[in-house]
Structure 1
Amino acid sequence: MSMPLVIQERFCRQSAALIAAGFSLPDVFAYLRVSLPKYRPIWERIETDLASGIGLPEAVGHQALAPILFQQLQLAQVHGDLAKALAVAGDYLGLRVRNRQRIGQLLIYPLVLLGMLVTLQVVVVFGVLPALALPQSHLVHTQLMTMGGGLAAGLLIWLGWHRLTLAQRLQLLQRLPGVRGVMQVYYQFQFTAGAAHFLLAGAEIADFCRHLITVGGPLGDLGARIQQKIQQGAELADALHEAFVPPEVARLLTMGQTHHLVATGLKLFGEQLFLQLQQRLERLVNLVQPLLFLLIGGEILLIYLQILLPLYQSFGG
């Protein structure tokens, strides 16, 4: 049984609120069994794993939930603020849910219009033109071949995407223009928010970097690179010179300010990065509708050509 993102968001927010109010994990999952009964088997599997001694991150990870949830729970094992980790994961999942809803809203009108145009085109090409004894334009065959090739390519891409591992998907996304910038801000947010939680819990930035290695994925690679630089004798400022570490964060960590001041600064900057991530995602989402309208414009042009060219040919042009 898979769990939709909107339910994962509710899980994070409800669990964070209950834990912050003093509820224990068994109480939290007892509440979830009542509030989200459809996913009772998942809650029971997590409880079974916890009862057998498996940690919460691993128990949640076994249910194939969003990676950010697993990463935040892993970090919470060290800095100790489970409610905050769940809240951070809930905020990001909420952002993804809103963007998906926004995409759906943007797609409704263009897709309906495109469907009507395709229907009109089929009626014209296979109904009106034969009834008028007019020849079909060569554009029909070209369009059919293009559509067939596009569908085949889309199917191959879909199959290939689902065969990739999570790490391979992330590497591929980081190479795409536009998406690369979003991914960078996302991991900068993850690094900054995690570092803030560690420092607020009294740990050092070196502890956070060492723990990142256990997280895996791009953040794990980042932690390994930073640790390697430090072991080779590099200064912290040089070791933090990475794409997933914002320059402002690196400067703040090496300014020699008090522990609490640095932690508070990281927390505030993490909130700014989250807003920046939200803005970048919204810009990407807003590109969907104009691209569809370009496709609609091309479809309208094809319909005109498929009507006018046969008429022109019938007049001896």
Structure 2
Amino acid sequence: MGDGIDRGISLRRLVNMSQRLYPKWQGMFDEIDQAMLMGKPFAEVLGPWLSVDTYYQLRLAERHGKLAETIHQVGKFLALQAKQRARLRAVMQYPVILLVFLVLVIVMVIHFVLPEVASWGSGAGLAIPPLVTTIGLTCAGALLASAVLLGVRWMTMDPEQRVRFLCTLPVIGRPTKYYWSYYLVANVAVMVENGMSLQEISLLVGQFDQRSMLYLVGQKISGALARGRPLEAVVSHLDYLPRELPSFLNRGLTQRELGEELAAVARLNYQRLSSRSSQLLELTQPLILVMIAAVVVVMYLSILMPIYQSLQVVE
């Protein structure tokens, strides 16, 4: 749709083209076409098929005349997601094949090799040391309890708290921060460029769905400012917002200049998101291969240890 808008094609015509390009989704495009024929706004028409945050991103853009640009941004992000999923599938093929063969080898070793090797020199199977059993059961119980506690905590969080939690995780924390920095700052930039003050923005997002990040972040910031906290302190507490944001807001720029600079910050965070995601994908296969190597080492040790013990018995 973004490419079609650049070529001057109307949205309704693009929807009709999509019916032929994607016959699997023809029913959805039929509903969209009928709703647009009745004069409904584009964002409202797409609402049932969008996440609540993407819906408000398009709604704000449509309201302020930035629909084509925002469709491009959303399309680029969805294309990036699809590309990364395809790369992940390609990267995972070789490790998955190795894992399948490794599982088969482990099953054969456990059922055929270890019983035979463990009985050498003693005539009985090798017993697992009590300390190893205790440590294994303790680790398994701790992991299970942690998973249950995290699941319970996750279910009690609102979307803003979940995003803040994800930002603290070691691997996916930084990409999560980059995405929400891009999303939130880009939407604020659209509103600021169209002359809205921070108070007007706060009032507008206060009317949004309470599940949306714009609503939750707006409530958190406005509530903190009402209690007399400086904007810098509020932003520093929100891990998903750029640390440099207060410096842009306090420079005394015109609305248009501020909007342009915020849009540049949003684009920078999108580029960081794309770069960081690519780096993580490149690390996926080596990490899995290291895990496979560790399993192979453990398997060899499980074979060699009974042999070593049997030699001690012979001595």
Give the TM-score range, shorter chain. Answer: 0.7 to 0.9
The structure 1 residue matched to 2:289, chosen from 284, 288, 293, is 293
Structure 2: how far apart are the matches of 1:246 and 1:175? 15
The structure 1 residue matched to 2:82, chosen from 97, 100, 125, is 97
Distance 1:90 1:252, change over 3 A: same
- 8 Å Cα contact 1:199-1:259 kept in structure 2: yes
- 8 Å Cα contact 2:194-2:256 kept in structure 1: no
Q: What secondary structure, in the 3-state scheme, does the structure 2 residue paired with 1:266 have?
A: helix
- Report whether the alignment pairs 1:57 with 2:57: no
Which residue is 1:225 aligned to?
220
Distance 1:304 1:313, change over 3 A: same
Q: What secondary structure, in the 3-state scheme, does the structure 1 residue paired with 2:174 have?
A: helix
Structure 2: how far apart are the matches of 1:125 and 1:225? 56
Structure 2: how far apart are the matches of 1:173 and 1:232? 27
- 8 Å Cα contact 1:189-1:270 kept in structure 2: yes
Distance 1:202 1:229, change over 3 A: same
Which residue is 1:5 aligned to?
none
1:272 CA displacement: 1.1
The structure 2 residue matched to 1:127, chosen from 83, 101, 112, is 112
Q: So what's the TM-score if we normalise by structure 2?
A: 0.75
Q: How many residue pairs are counted as aligned between the two chains?
A: 293
1:61 CA displacement: 2.9
Which residue is 1:88 aligned to?
73
Unaligned runs of 5+ in 1: 1-14
Which residue is 2:175 aligned to?
182
Q: Deviations over 1:263-311 (max 9, x none)?
A: 2222222211111222333344344334323321222123212322343
* 1:1-317 correspondence to structure 2 within 5 Å: 15-51=1-37, 55-63=41-49, 65-66=50-51, 68-128=53-113, 137-138=126-127, 167=159, 170=163, 173-213=166-206, 214=208, 216-229=211-224, 243=238, 244-315=240-311, 316=313
Q: Deviations over 1:81-134 (max 9, x none)?
A: 111111111122222223323322332222222222221222233234567876
Structure 2: how far apart are the matches of 1:249 and 1:40? 43
- 8 Å Cα contact 1:78-1:198 kept in structure 2: no
Distance 1:88 1:166, change over 3 A: farther
Distance 1:242 1:89, change over 3 A: farther
Structure 2: how far apart are the matches of 1:256 and 1:290? 49
Which residue is 1:6 aligned to?
none
1:203 CA displacement: 3.6
1:187 CA displacement: 1.6
Q: So what's the TM-score if we normalise by structure 1?
A: 0.74
Q: Given residue 74 of structure 1, which amino acid in structure 2 is its aligned partner?
A: R
Instruction: Say which is worse superposed, 302-311 or 238-247, in terms of deviation.
Output: 238-247
Question: Identity over aligned residues, as a percent?
Answer: 25
Q: Given residue 57 of structure 1, which amino acid in structure 2 is its aligned partner?
A: A
1:39 CA displacement: 1.1
Which residue is 1:7 aligned to?
none
Q: Given residue 256 of structure 1, which amino acid in structure 2 is its aligned partner?
A: G
Instruction: Say which is worse superposed, 20-29 or 76-85, in terms of deviation.
Output: 20-29
Q: Given residue 27 of structure 2, which amino acid in structure 1 is its aligned partner?
A: P
Q: What secondary structure, in the 3-state scheme, does the structure 2 residue paired with 1:247 have?
A: coil
Q: Given residue 34 of structure 1, which amino acid in structure 2 is its aligned partner?
A: R
Distance 1:245 1:120, change over 3 A: closer
Q: Given residue 81 of structure 1, which amino acid in structure 2 is its aligned partner?
A: K
Larger Rg: 2
Q: What secondary structure, in the 3-state scheme, does the structure 2 residue paired with 1:23 have?
A: coil
Structure 1: how far apart are the matches of 2:237 and 2:42? 30
Distance 1:124 1:284, change over 3 A: same
Q: Given residue 33 of structure 1, which amino acid in structure 2 is its aligned partner?
A: Q
Q: What secondary structure, in the 3-state scheme, does the structure 2 residue paired with 1:61 have?
A: helix
